[in-house]
A and B are shown apart, each in its own frame.
Chain A
Amino acid sequence: RKEVEQDPGPFNVPEGATVAFNCTYSNSASQSFFWYRQDCRKEPKLLMSVYSSGNEDGRFTAQLNRASQYISLLIRDSKLSDSATYLCVVTNPESGSARQLTFGSGTQLTVLP
């Protein structure tokens, strides 16, 4: 079983649509969670952290379910500029001061005009 699993997509949605990505992780001891965004042939960029109570940043909402070891990202009112690959990222609790992250393979989103 992969440590972090994501549906690879691709998700092709029209502008203005709402789209949700899901992610599951295997290590129940993981404490911190993130979503990164990676544009084609570019570096990953931190989109948002995921907090236990759920958090929202504009059109983006992240949710965490520790019991099910499940993370989600909801994008409302999709824009063309949201087209990218979205990476689910989980901390490695055994890494100590190295603070290692484990990255999912990503979900590809294309927003169509």
Chain B
Amino acid sequence: SQTIHQWPATLVQPVGSPLSLECTVEGTSNPNLYWYRQAAGRGLQLLFYSVGIGQISSEVPQNLSASRPQDRQFILSSKKLLLSDSGFYLCAWAQDSYEQYFGPGTRLTVT
């Protein structure tokens, strides 16, 4: 069966510091991968998606970037965090359908 991992689970970072969040999927090949952000009390905002290794599409302009160095690895990064980057970051995968399955998320607080 497929599983999806995210780490770290929680993170507190100062403004201006770098960020690296990691997501890995097991038990599937060539999945679509997605990064979402959910601000407190808000809906899910799609940040990036990837349909294959090295293929990244951005949905919103921001100071974040994403990379997919391996088939089942998806990384979200920032060189300099802003206060507005605080939120709940969720990685999801999908395989040959629209049904997406989410990882446990990373709760980021920028101070």
Contact bitstring B68-110, A, C-beta under 8 A = 1, else 0? 0000000000000000000010100010011111111101000
Contact B98 A101 (CB under 8 A): yes
- Closest chain A residue to B32, Cβ basis: A99
Interface size grouping (class) on chain B: 20 to 34
Closest residue of chain A to B100 (Cβ to Cβ) is A101
Q: Are B99 and A45 in contact (CB under 8 A)?
A: no
Is there an interface contact between A105 and B43, defined as CB atoms closer than 8 Å? yes
Query: Which residues of B are found within 8 Å of A34, using beta-carbon distances?
Result: 98-99
How many cross-chain pairs have Cβ atoms below 8 Å apart between A and B?
45
Given A44-B44, A46-B99, A49-B99, A98:B32 Cβ within 8 A? yes
Instruction: Let me know if B19 is at the binding interface, CB within 8 A.
Output: no
Q: Which B residues touch A105, using CB under 8 A?
A: 42-43
Report chain A residues within 8 Å CB of B102: 43-45
Task: Give the size range of A's interface with the partner.
Answer: 20 to 34
Main secondary structure of the interface of B (DSSP, over half): strand
User: Residues of B contacting A101 with CB < 8 Å?
Assistant: 46, 98, 100
Question: Is B64 interfacial (CB-CB < 8 Å)?
Answer: no
- B: residues with CB less than 8 A from A are 32, 42-44, 46, 49, 51, 57, 88, 90, 94, 97-105, 107
Instruction: Name 16 A/B residue pairs within 8 A (Cβ), A-sorted.
Output: A42-B104, A42-B105, A43-B105, A44-B44, A44-B90, A44-B102, A46-B101, A87-B44, A99-B32, A99-B94, A99-B98, A100-B49, A101-B98, A103-B44, A104-B43, A105-B42
* A interface residues, Cβ below 8 angstroms from B: 32, 34, 41-46, 49, 87, 91, 97-101, 103-106
